[in-house]
Every structure is written in structure tokens, then in C-alpha cells.
Amino acid sequence: MKTFKTGGIHPPESKFTENLPIENMPVPAELAIPMNQHLGKPAKSLVKVGSEVKKGELIGAADGFISANVHASTSGKVKGVKPLPHPSGQYAMTVLLTADGKDEWAEGLNTEPVNWRGLSKEEVIGRVKNAGIVGMGGAGFPTNVKLSPPPDKKIDTVILNGAECEPFLTADHRLMLESSDEVIEGLEIIASLFGERAKAYIGVESNKQDAIDALSRKASPKGIEVISLKTKYPQGAEKQLINAITGRTIEEGELPFDKGCLVQNIGTAVAVYEAVCKNKPLVDRIVTVSGLEIGKPKNIRAVIGTRFSDISAFCGEPKTGTNQVISGGPMMGKALFTLDVPVTKTTSGILFINNSGIENARERTCIRCGKCVEVCPQGLAPWLLANVAQLRDFDEIQLLGLANCTECGSCTYVCPSKRELVHWIKYAKALVNNRQQRKSA
Amino acid sequence: MESVNLKVSNAPFVRSKDSIESVMYNVALALAPATVMSVYLFGMKALLLTVVSILSCIGFEWLMDKARKKPDSCLDGSALVTGLLLALNVPANLPLWMVFIGAFIAIVASKHVFGGLGFNVFNPALVARVFLLISFPAAMTSWPVPAPFSFDVAIDMETAATPLGILKTEGIETMAASFSLMDGFLGNMNGSLGETSALALLAGAAWLWYKKYITMHIPLTLIGSVFLFTGLFHLIDPGTYASPMFHMLTGGLVLGAFFMATDMVTSPLSIRGQLIFGLGCGLLTAVIRLWGGYPEGISFAILIMNSFVPLIDRWDLNDRKALQQKKQTTS
């Protein structure tokens, strides 16, 4: 069984929701749709208070090369356009939409599927761009940009990321099982952009055997290879997944297309299929609602902009022990200070947990056990990076490979001294970035 | 639910169950077979000595935390391990007040003076052992003969030299007449509490290895290099130099290789560094044993190599930086 070469950990999988079919969550009375749900510049809002919109209508236009469109996720009336809490932990410009309850599509959207094979490359990428599709695994990089690499970079490998290595999350798993046709069709559309030469793979961790079986049956006649990967975190990280499947290593400063690879998330593939064949913009996504402290863990299909408070009510309310709510997975997610934030295009999970002892947790001294070095998938020395970050020596730290860190958190997971290693590394990265921006400005 | 109750902290939100405590208590557990064996061989004196050593180490740790105004660390298990190792490194006949002084040297003079757990350059228990050996040479080389199940504290135990001591002072024939490899393996010979039974020590080391708290890089290179070096000289002149198997099973080689050279705080982090460290310890041990003034060399060897650890780590650091610079200039 294949896996990536360096490091990695195996935290408890805790996939409690893997056997629960996706439930459609009703559209709540009010939606909060942020203008930045992607990497890059936030979209420019096109609506004013009082505007009437239909489902799928453009309400935020991509602003610049790396940006993405935002659409109304239901029909209704705009109640406000103002900064509101965002799952990133900050405030972001948000369109508040009061639903009219009809959930009515705008004209020409969400049609009967058409055959995409007649479309040109430019038309396919144009549809992806119009639909506002971004990488739905978490990073949120605009998909149309990723699908148009510079002409001198030849893509020979297209990989669909079904690793879903984060504990708890099962959104991609359910999607692979319940929408395997759409997943495969989406992958075919993506691979077709790179001609006959591109070989398509779907990488799935072996703890999802049912998904591997379901996909293999349908994929192999089409020349798509489904690869069973040894369950190991962070297999779903782009660099690790490429290494696991092709054996190629993405060096510092390189992007996957430098090594002829393109990686897309399972959810993104389905969104691409829907955008290209059904002309459906990205207005909903699958979210895993889990953790030990939620009444009824579920996999739900929620429209973009659904508030976490509505989702928590839909899933049987949190238990009294809840002290943390996390957007994303437990390894790379973010702890929220309010449930008043919406589902965005990159919200893969919402976890309600009781992180006991969090008040008493303290960093102890490093006992030089070397575990962090052993598990670092990028071959770094996290203890050293953290030490140098604490000394605020931001020249030295770049010489230690700071930019190579993917912030997967494996080092912090294993540290017996409970040091906040990845936190210190992120801190150093942020300050190094600031300094460079100030220099170039 | 009131959102006021939500706590914000850093990812990741799941952490492994490993802690300083679990590492230390597992090391202590791994030393348990050897400790039980020593109580079986040397009786009540060994038990009393071990208890005094552990309690005084934990006591000094507590005092130093108070004096340095640091959070309590006396029960994190590191003082327990130091105490156990110190006890296993001295003869059962040692007066208890000397053990107490040893604990002071280990915890105060070689651990907290450097900044406490994680910052000490030298293995505390070994510093204490060497300090005692130099300060009280007579008491530290009066080895009781094993007398299984002697639980009377009052009697004076019969003493005799260790096999390595006999080899050093009386030559190989006398040693060969009084020593069998099987006795050495099981522990039925003179020596410190923990130097005797290779079997009990190996069982503990296997546990640590199985639980992944130690790797085999240091112990295997250390023991391997002692074996090869002493084996070479045994081949050249069997009349003067003892067989490598003899060297394997006598003295503190097994205890030192698996439990003291592998101390995380005082050994290199990289595999490459660990191999050099193990090799250095092994060669120094062999050299001291074959030609040194002391019959036993493992404590000195490990302490000397401890002092090279910052240098070895610096070498790795510079290599990392060089590699990074090369990448940045090519890209």
C-alpha cells in the first residue's frame, strides 16, 4: 500500500459519521454570505440593502486574478452588507440575506445535465470561473486559476484527493460513496483539460474501503486508477499526496505543476461537474458535524452562509460539556469564539468538543526526545524552529526551512512536553511575511 | 448555548497521550526488573539504598523548584528515574549518607544548576556516580558478594572485587577461574546494584524499544564498538586481553548503553549524531577498560561524549542551513 515517505502520524480516526448518509439541511431564515471565502482578494459586493436576489445570482464579483465569484445561496432580500464574524476568526464583509422561503433558482441555472464533451477548454474553465469554484479541501484557492497553469508547465498527472486524513471528517467519504458518478465525471472534465497524456488518479486512504470499492468499479473502465493509501496523517496535504501516489517530491518554492501534477479535492470535482454540466454555481457543500459534544452527529448538505448556530440546532444542540467549537478538522481547524459565523466554501467540518484541561495546559521544557523531527512530513526540525521563533530571530529561522512548513501540526500532536510548536512556527511565518511586505511596499 | 463559554486555543485540538510523565514512568518501569533483581541478590541493603536514593532525589527536586520559583516538577518522574539510576550505579554496601550526597550532586549540581530538566549537559546520575567514585573510592569499590534473600540489614556482607577489577589487578587467569558467562548474564556476580544482571536490563530495554521511547542506534553502536574493539585485541593477544563476550556482560555496559547513553536530554537528536555518539562511547569505554587506571570506563565514556553533544547538534544545524541556502540559490 502506498504512502508518503517522510514522517507522519496516526491520530485516533474518530470517524463517527462515516456511515451516516448526507442529510439536506433546510435553508434557514437568514444567511450570512462572506465576500472572502477563498485565498486572494475578497470579491466585490454587487448588491445593496433591499435588493431582491434569486438563488445562484451573482452577488459578489471576483476582484482581480486570484479571487472568486460569490453567489446568493437562496432567493430572498438583502438585509445588510457589513463586516460580520467570519470562521477565520476575524470580521469580513458579508451580505446578509433574508430568505423568502421559495428557494427559487435564477433563470438558466441548475439545468438538466448536458454533455460536456462538446465544450472547448476555454468554455469549461470559464464555467468553473463563473461558478465561483475554489478548492474545497480547506485552502480555497480559486479553481479556475489552478486549472490554467502556465503553458510551459506540462501536467501529466491529475490527482483527486480523497485521503480525508483529518480525524472526525467524513464529508468527502460520503460524497465518494453517494455521488461516485459525479466525482468521476468531474475528474474526467478536469483531466480532459490536459489532453490525452494526463493520467488520472483518485487517492483514498484504506480506512474508506467502501469508497475505494465504489469508485474502482466505475473508474477503471475509464482509465482512472483508484489508489488505496495507507492511513496516515497528513496524507491529504498536496505535497504528501503527490509523493504518496507518484513518488515525486515538491521542493521548496515549487508548486505541484512544476512536477507535472495537479491535485483537486473530491468536493471540488463534484462542484466542477455541476458547474460545467448543470450550470450550477457553488452555493452549497457537504459539512461533517461531529465531535463528542454534539447531540446528533451528521453529514449535512448546507447552503453557503448557513450559520453554525442554525446547524447546531439542526444537529440536536451541543451538550453542556462543550468548551470548544472548531471549524475544520481537529488538526488544522480553527477554534471559534462565536457560533455566529457562516459555512463558507471551505468549511469541511464543524466539531463540538470538550477540550478538557485546556485552562491548565502549559508548555513544558523540551526534553529533546526528537519525536517532532521524526514525524515532520517536510523533514524539518520543529523544536528548533519554535526555539528560534521564540527568540524572534527571523533571519535565522528562514535558514532553517520556515517556508517549507505546511502547518500540519503533527509536531505539536506528538510533543510530550506539550509545546505549541506549530503555533510558534505560524507566528514566525506571519511576522516574516509582514516584514517582507513592508520591505516591498 | 451561550457563545461566551467557547474557548479559543491553537490547533491541533487533539494531542497524543505522551507526556514527560509517561516517558519517565515508562523508563522507571523498564528499570524495575533490574531493581527487583538487585534486591533479590543483595537483599534489604539494596532495597533501602534504592528507596533513600529515590526519595532524596525527589526531595532535592522539590527544594530546587521552590528555590528557583519554578512550577513543581518533583513528581514528573525525571527525579524518580535519576534516583533509580543512581541506586543502580553504586554498590549495595554504600553508606546511605553517601547516597544522599550523590542525590544532591545529581539533582542540584548537575541538573538544576544548568536550568533543570531539558537543559542539563551531563547525565545527572552519572555525574553523581563519578563524584562518589572519586570522593569515596574505598566505599565505592567495596563490592558485596551476592547473597540471595539476605534480608538482615545488620550483617556485614562479604565483599570481593568485580570481575573487571580482578582482570585489572590480578590478570586474566585469575579472572577466568572465577567467572562464567552464564553467571554474568543472569547477574550472579559482584558489582553495583544494576550492573549485575544483563538479562533483567535487556528485558527492560526491550520494553522501552517496543514502546518507542528509545531507538537502538546508540545502544547497538555502543555495544558493537566495544565488542569489535575488545575482540580485536583478544584475537591479537588472548593471554592479556579478555574475550569480548566477557566485556559485554560485566560492568555497567548494558545499563549504560540502554539506559544512560540513550537519555534524551543528553544525547544527539539526529540518527547520524547518535551513531557517532554511540561509537565514541564504545571506543572510550574499551580504551579505559583495556589500558585505563579504572577497571570500568562506561561512566567516564558517556560523560565525555555528553560534552560533545552540543557540537554534534551544531553540525546538523549547519548542514540544515547549508542545504536550505543551496535550495534558495538554485530556485
Which one, of A67, A131, A75, lies nearest residue A105 by Cα? A75
Average pLDDT estimate for B86-97: 93
Contacts of A49 (CB under 8 A, 6+ apart): A78, A79, A80, A81
- Does residue A327 form part of some domain? no
Question: Please, what is the average pLDDT of chain A?
Answer: 93
Average pLDDT estimate for B287-307: 91
- Does residue B325 form part of some domain? no
Which residue of B9, B71, B320 is in closest CB contact with A401?
A: B320
User: Domain end: B77, B108, B140, which one?
Assistant: B140
Q: How much is the pLDDT for B191?
A: 83
For residue A390, give the C-alpha cell.
Answer: 521564540
What B319-328 contacts at long range (C-beta under 8 Å, 24+ apart), as own/partner pairs, is B320/A381, B320/A399, B320/A400, B320/A401, B321/A399, B321/A400, B324/A252, B324/A398, B324/A399, B324/A400, B324/A401, B325/A399, B327/A251, B327/A252, B327/A253, B328/A252, B328/A253
**Using CA atoms, how far apart are residues B44 and B151, in angstroms rounded to an integer?**
5
Tell me whether residues B11 and A333 touch, CB distance under 8 A.
yes
- A358 versus A431: which is more confidently predicted? A431
Q: How much is the pLDDT for B159?
A: 77
- Does residue B77 form part of some domain? yes
- Does residue B186 form part of some domain? yes
- Does residue B197 form part of some domain? yes
Q: Are residues B246 and B201 in the same domain?
A: yes
Tell me whether residues B269 and A370 touch, CB distance under 8 A.
yes
Q: Are residues B169 and B300 in the same domain?
A: yes
Which one, of B108, B80, B79, B93, lies nearest residue B49 by Cα? B93
Helices marked H in A209-318 = 209-219, 238-246, 266-278, 308-314
Q: Are residues B109 and B189 in the same domain?
A: no
Tell me whether residues A422 and B12 touch, CB distance under 8 A.
yes
**Using CA atoms, how far apart are residues A307 and A301, in angstroms rounded to an integer?**
13
Tell me whether residues A335 and B1 touch, CB distance under 8 A.
no
Domain count, chain B: 2
A254 chain-B contacts, CB cut-off 8 A: 331
Q: Are residues B170 and B310 in the same domain?
A: yes
Which residue of A167, A326, A413 is in closest CB contact with B16?
A: A413
User: Domain end: B140, B171, B194, which one?
Assistant: B140
User: Domain end: A278, A303, A331, which one?
Assistant: A278
Which one, of A334, A380, A332, lies nearest residue A164 by Cα? A332
A422 chain-B contacts, CB cut-off 8 A: 10-12
- Whether the predicted pLDDT of B19 surpasses 60: yes
**Using CA atoms, how far apart are residues A180 and A202, in angstroms rounded to an integer?**
11
Neighbours of A402 (CB within 10 A): 20
Tell me whether residues A353 and B13 touch, CB distance under 8 A.
yes
- Does residue A436 form part of some domain? yes
**Using CA atoms, how far apart are residues A12 and A407, in angstroms rounded to an integer?**
19
Percentage of chain A exceeding pLDDT 70: 100
CATH code of the domain in which A176 resides: 3.40.50.11540
End-to-end Cα, chain A, rounded Å: 49
Neighbours of B4 (CB within 10 A): 7
Q: Are residues A382 and A272 in the same domain?
A: no
Q: Are residues B214 and B110 in the same domain?
A: no
Helix orientation angle between B96-104 and B78-88, rounded to the nearest 10 degrees = 140
Distance from CA of B303 to the nearest CA of A (A): 17
Q: Are residues B25 and B122 in the same domain?
A: yes
User: Domain end: A278, A310, A344, which one?
Assistant: A278
Average pLDDT estimate for B119-142: 93
Tell me whether residues B269 and A368 touch, CB distance under 8 A.
yes
B11 chain-A contacts, CB cut-off 8 A: 330-335, 409, 412, 422-423
Strands, E, within A272-376: which ranges?
A: 284-290, 298-303, 324-327, 334-335, 349-353
**Residues A41, A47, A50, A53, CA torsion sign:** negative
- Residue numbers of the domain that contains B302: 163-317
Reported confidence tier of residue A91, pLDDT bands at 50, 70, 90: very high
Which one, of A232, A177, A149, B158, lies nearest residue A243 by Cα? A232
- Residue numbers of the domain that contains A159: 120-278
- Whether the predicted pLDDT of A441 surpasses 80: no
- Does residue A353 form part of some domain? no
Taking only the tens place, the pLDDT of each residue in A207-237 is 999 999 999 999 988 889 999 999 999 999 9
- Distances in Å between the alpha carbon of B267 and those of B80, B215, B317? 19, 12, 15
Q: Are residues B78 and B201 in the same domain?
A: no
- Which of A309, A363, A399 is best to mutate for the B interface (most B CBs within 10 A)? A399
- Does residue B183 form part of some domain? yes
- Whether the predicted pLDDT of B2 surpasses 60: no
- Does residue B227 form part of some domain? yes
Could you give the strand order of the β-sheet that contains A44-45, starting from the edge strand earlier in sequence?
Answer: A44-45, A58-61, A70-71
For residue A302, give the C-alpha cell.
Answer: 448546507
B3 chain-A contacts, CB cut-off 8 A: 337-340
- Whether the predicted pLDDT of B148 surpasses 80: no
B6 chain-A contacts, CB cut-off 8 A: 322-325, 335-339
Q: How much is the pLDDT for A122?
A: 92
Distance from CA of B89 to the nearest CA of A (A): 23
Contacts of B177 (CB under 8 A, 6+ apart): none
- Does residue A85 form part of some domain? no
Least confident of A77-86, A162-171, A335-344, B142-151: B142-151
Q: Are residues B172 and B77 in the same domain?
A: no
**Using CA atoms, how far apart are residues A307 and A405, in angstroms rounded to an integer?**
32
Reported confidence tier of residue B155, pLDDT bands at 50, 70, 90: low
- Does residue B54 form part of some domain? yes
Tell me whether residues B10 and A420 touch, CB distance under 8 A.
yes
State the greatest distance between any 2 C-alpha atoms of chain A, in Å, as a whole number.
64
- Does residue A134 form part of some domain? yes
Contacts of B113 (CB under 8 A, 6+ apart): none
**Using CA atoms, how far apart are residues B119 and A368, in angstroms rounded to an integer?**
9
Distance from CA of A13 to the nearest CA of B (A): 11
Q: How much is the pLDDT for A1?
A: 85
**What 3-state class would DSSP assign to A7?**
coil
Tell me whether residues B23 and A409 touch, CB distance under 8 A.
no
Burial class (CB in 10 A: 0-12, 13-18, 19+), A24: exposed
User: Domain end: A278, A300, A322, which one?
Assistant: A278
- Which of B5, B10, B75, B277 is best to mutate for the A interface (most A CBs within 10 A)? B10
Percentage of chain A exceeding pLDDT 90: 82
Backbone angles phi, psi at A60, to 5 degrees: -140, 130
Chain B residue closest in CA terms to A408: B12
- Does residue A245 form part of some domain? yes
Q: Are residues B239 and B282 in the same domain?
A: yes
Domain count, chain A: 2
Chain B residue closest in CA terms to A384: B317
For residue A324, give the C-alpha cell.
Answer: 470548544
Q: How much is the pLDDT for A27?
A: 95
Reported confidence tier of residue B331, pLDDT bands at 50, 70, 90: low
Q: Are residues B112 and B46 in the same domain?
A: yes
- Does residue A289 form part of some domain? no
Distance from CA of B149 to the nearest CA of A (A): 39
Percentage of chain B exceeding pLDDT 70: 95
Beta-ladder partners of B144: B159
Q: How much is the pLDDT for B194?
A: 83
Taking only the tens place, the pLDDT of each residue in B95-130 is 999 999 999 999 999 999 999 999 999 999 999 999
Least confident of A199-203, B101-105, B185-189: B185-189
Tell me whether residues A355 and B19 touch, CB distance under 8 A.
no
- Whether the predicted pLDDT of A62 surpasses 90: yes
The amino acid occupying position B174 is T
Q: How much is the pLDDT for B330?
A: 67
**What 3-state class would DSSP assign to A409?**
coil
- Whether the predicted pLDDT of B184 surpasses 90: no
DSSP string, A192-233: HTT-TT-EEEEEEEGGGHHHHHHHHHHHGGGTPEEEEE---B
For residue A229, give the C-alpha cell.
Answer: 493509501
- Does residue A234 form part of some domain? yes
Q: How much is the pLDDT for B157?
A: 67
CB B171 within 8 A of CB B144: no
Q: How much is the pLDDT for B4?
A: 53
Q: Are residues B216 and B257 in the same domain?
A: yes
- Does residue B323 form part of some domain? no
- Whether the predicted pLDDT of B136 surpasses 80: yes
CB B259 within 8 A of CB B32: no
Number of A:B CB contacts under 8 A?
143
Tell me whether residues A412 and B12 touch, CB distance under 8 A.
yes
Position of cell 535519576?
B82
Q: Are residues B126 and B200 in the same domain?
A: no
Question: Please, what is the average pLDDT of chain B?
Answer: 89
Reported confidence tier of residue B154, pLDDT bands at 50, 70, 90: low
A322 chain-B contacts, CB cut-off 8 A: 1, 5-6
